[in-house]
Amino acid sequence: MEKIWSKTKIGNMELSHRLAMAPMTRSRAQEDGTPGELAALYYAQRATMGLLITEGTQPSDDGQGYLWSPGIYTDKHIDGWKKVTDAVHEAGGYVYIQLMHAGRMSHPDNTPHHRQPVAPSAIAPGVEMFTATGMQDIPVPRELSQEDIQTTIADFRKAAAAAIEAGADGVEIHGANGYLINQFLGENSNTRTDEYGGSIENRARFAIEVTKAIVKEIGAERTGFRISPGTPLGGIQDGEQGPELYRYLVEELAQLDLAYLHVMHLGDEQLLQDIRSIWQNPLLVNRAGRTLEDLSVDLDRGLADVVPVGVWSLANPDLVERLRQGAPLNEADTTTFFGLGSKGYTDYPTLEELKSQEGLH
């Protein structure tokens, strides 16, 4: 793991190692979308991860998909996130707020305005959504008009400005995992016949326009972008043109000189190599199902510059120290991933705390 401990630079950030905390939905925000009381502690506990990419954060009422997910579009949201960024910065870390518009991956019961979800096309994802009354089928979304698309792009831009006002070091645009931007990219989720549908250039247009708007607002050095080629989450299918679409998208994004590109990688090794050759700026690769022993494989092969880590950093606030020492890791409790206060959120012990507890017995 030698390369993991080498320094690197991303955007305006000087990082002391090549790990980062991956974005993970935790569903612990207040009902109005303000980060919960424990959010500052949760993120600050993990500040040694260097770059912390937050849970998906909606840029508008329309953008909310899940219960108790945070927002970044009101004064209260900004104040709540300011507590988080201050705490992380005081602990020596950096924060990128992930901007996530859920699009059709939503339910009226989960949003402040209780309206029909929105999407590039009126096609339901064919999956269920957790709501306050239990699991429900996701309804058919309302197709965004061209005017709606421009409003949504403006929502992303305003949310990025709000994130910087809240003290974030930057934002990650969530173009992955079945959410709105990914829905525009998907062959089966976007059947539009205007300039936002059809050809790969048209299906990539929304992603590129959102990114350009955010870059204009906060600067390319504060903007990251996440993709998940070939990931079938939310019922998305890339189709036969998928690899070609992602090569085109990455080429276009590369021209904007972003802080980083974050790839959720599921196994198309040739596509990952192509992305690496196209993308000259820092590349983050999150490889699904990776073992601890393989943590540095993509770094060693030159396929990645940084390795984002999810569940291990969730369960181990001192993951960096544990890896340096070769110490055992806490096991993650999957039953407490979402919405249960401090349990499974801020109560995972560090090595030091475990030693103290042992000393008391």
List, by residue number, the catalytic residues.
Answer: 179
Q: How far apart are CA 148 and CA 102, in angstroms?
A: 15
CA proximity to 104, closest of 181, 24, 202, 204: 181
Distances (CA, A) of 121 to 88, 193, 197, 256, 275: 39, 10, 9, 28, 28
Write the CB contacts of 277 (distance below 8 Å, at least 6 apart in sequence).
Answer: none
Counting every residue written for the chain, the total comes to 361
Angle at 72 between CA 133 and CA 118, to 5 degrees: 55
Rounded-to-integer distance, Cα 14 and Cα 318, Å: 20
Q: What element of type H or E holds 13?
A: strand 13-15
Beta bridge partners of 260: 224
Separation of alpha carbons 292 and 138, rounded Å: 36
Q: What is the CA radius of gyration of the chain?
A: 20
Q: Which of 145, 140, 154, 88 is nearest to 120 (CA)?
A: 145
Compute the distance between CA of residue 353 and CA of residue 161 in angstroms, rounded to an integer: 38
Is residue 6 packed enough to be buried (19+ CB in 10 Å), middle (13-18) or exposed (0-12)? exposed
